[in-house]
Structure 1
Amino acid sequence: MEESSVLLCKGCTLWQGLLLTASLLTFWHLSTTADVTIESLPPLVAEGENVLFLVHHLPENLTALAWFKGLTNMKQGIAMYTLHNNLSVTGPVHSGRETVYHNGSLLLENVTQKDTGYYTLRTYNRRAKILSTTSMYLQVHAFLWKCGRLATSAQTSIELVPPSVAEGGSVLLRIHNPPENIVGFVWFKGTTDFKNVVATHFISDRKSAVWGPAYSGRETLHSDGSLLLHSVTQRDRGLYTLRVLRTDMGKEETQVQLHVYTSLSLFCNPFTSSQLMIQPVPRYPAEGEGVLLQVHNLPEDLLTLVWYKSKFRTPVLKIVEYNRTINSISWAPAHRRGWMLNNNGSLMLQDVNEKDAGMYTLEVLNKDFNIEKAYVEFYVKKYVTQPFVRITDTTVTGGTSVIFTCISPDTDISIRWIFNNQNLQLTERMTLSPTKCGLRIDPVRNEDFGEYKCQISNRFSLKTSLPVFWPR
């Protein structure tokens, strides 16, 4: 086998030879290969943990590969690996915690926040020509909560409190079942367009919310992301969108439709106006019961109406379509056995479960070919189970820290902590996770010794864990 020109550098180290050859060739060769990808395992990393940069789709004709700290600085070499002789050579910034494998993957052990930054992998052929350059960013967190959901089927939802609001009143857009790995919240009045931003808030930023173009001066953003609207007017009605930003760079979005009634119509009957509206009856059905999505003010000149199990016009989530012209009803993929469409457009859902809960959309087309939409959301009544508390303690230089974790299989819950039979009063040494399922005390002092319990609740029930004691 021909000796790689990467290694043909007289009077210098193998790493310097790689740098010399690669830097000369990079002058006229800057192309990259999109096929090579890097995956971080685990995706979220905290101080003291190990992380593997798993490489996929390496070029077939490579003979050497090298890892660098940063994007373009060739002097920040971590390690080089030559495949033809299974030789590994450490670089200038190798800390003794890095290992390069024959498949290109890089293991970084016992990470610290100083390890945060970009990491770049380059592959070479036997002429030292660069075959690919691929980079990824590593974020090392000071602490990573291990409780709550990181990514489950349970979705973030919004509840209007109260469900009906009159002009001049206040309404809370309360968030339920947020993810645990939250970076921040963004509220939009309408769709996710910059001009519709009401407020932005990042968890790590102790400052108040940053208000956007759609801010009216009557909104208050709570620490849990919930949005309070004061002195509402007819201009406030419509769709509100919440975007939850996560530490894994992902995001979740959910929406709610706000109806604002005049004080007189609410006192008499909020459904006597001409606006198309939907009311769930009952609002909180139990699992196995039925719920009627009752339609009010259906236009008399309608041509067609369509129900969707969604807040969007999505064919796969279409339930039923009614065509008055030919007097036909056609059921679609999201229909379930036993569901019925009434003459007034109301939809009867039988034997509902948690998967049936959520937002429904009614779309009506009239004779002038104008489309009118209405939205409704309902929740399925579910009772919580008793949680339990897990204790994790660590002793480090400077003292002992302890983490209490409230363990529960339930989603869409609120959590509070009880210390010596009273609501826990947080101090500067205490940190709650975003959903409050985790409580960290660092460092622990004598006044923290005692009995701890967690209490979970949803809209329908409340349960308290058995007590645990610290020190154990």
Structure 2
Amino acid sequence: MENPSASPRRGHVPWQGLLLADSLLIVWILPTMAAFTVEPVSPIAANETDVLFLINNPVENPRLYTWYKGQTDTNSSLLIASFEVPLGTNSTGPDYTHRERIFPNGSLLIQNVSEEDTGNYTLRIVDGSYDQHLATTPLYVYNIQIINDSKPIEGKELVLTCEPDIPGMTYQWYKDGEEVQEIPDRLQLSSNNRTLTLLNVTRNDTGIYECEIRNSTTVIFRNSHTLDVFYGPDSPTISPSEENYCSRTNLTLFCEADSNPPAQYTWLINGKIWGSTQQLHIPIISTSDSGSYTCEVHNSNTGLNNTAVRNITVYGPVIQAFYPIVREKDSLVLTCQTHAPVISTHWIFNSQSLQLTERMNLSSDNSILTIEPVMMEDEGEYQCEVFYLNCSRRSDPVRIAVRAIDTENTHLLPGAIAGIVIGAFIVLILPCILTCIQAFIVCCSKNRR
């Protein structure tokens, strides 16, 4: 009988050897068997998209699916939700956000993901034998954000960061479809290109910025961010450029300044606020509307202000008559006054062009009309019409009254008329009284003798 411990003959394997061979076979075969795993359809998801976690090589006869936010299922505070297969019921945990849904096959859907959803997700499966199976997968939620909570204001520094920071990945920036290259004193890129710094933002930096995440061979994801640079307001312009206006016309001024967002407008007339509109409109202006017109513009995002000033002069003729009531055969002087450079002046009498006579005389610039001597036919309404470079304007009519010489005293008061009558009566009877007195004296003298 052979010693069990002796070396076996060639071609024979003892039972201990068979057990050892079986053990080695199990050791080498188990790692090659496919194990259950979970993975998101896209391991890098864009912000505000939906992510679906799928199960690979699912466990046979599952009884319970439980999803956790993290790498372990021992912390119940990380529980998202679970699904009991026999009952077909769901239950939720502390990490449930109403955006998650477990399907009967154990898949997990997360809707409208954000950067806060970045992290590891673990699925625990309990099978029919109440054995537990665990699998964990990472999720990265991709986004481009403006850090430091700074507004993209012209002249300021702005930093764009591509999220998330994934180890082993490289980043590339694009603006309006073209690859961004580093420019000294203008654009700076971090060592892995994940951060783009605009040192001195200009309005030309407005556009669509894209950040591309890639590994050594493949583009993993690419997302975009529209950058809207705030600037201005620039110096405003007031239109039209005209500064001289005729009275009784309409004045309309329009103010415009390049600004993003659009500027807020305020008009001031002679230092007093008129209104907060881009257009100023004053109907039927007069000479009193002359003055300084200021347009103020303001950008609430940049905090900047700017102004433009237009000096407006409103012209209109006025007739000055020193004596609106004159006597016949006296002289009449009418002056047409205006503060604007006048091309010509024309006189109007009773709404008709004044026909000059030998008694009338005009100054060299036609601004002064002299009538000497005045006659009754000169009574009426006088106007002067002034012609400027861009308009003409008539003055308001002035009424001139002429008093005839032979009717000057027809307007005496009753007392004065009575005095005149009494005086005339005394003048008429005074000789009779004197005659009577003289006769009486003679008669008395004779009687004495």
Q: TM-score, normalising length from structure 1? A: 0.28
Higher gyration radius (CA): 2
- Report which structure shows greater RCO (CA 8 Å, sep ≥6): 1
Q: TM-score, normalising length from structure 2? A: 0.29
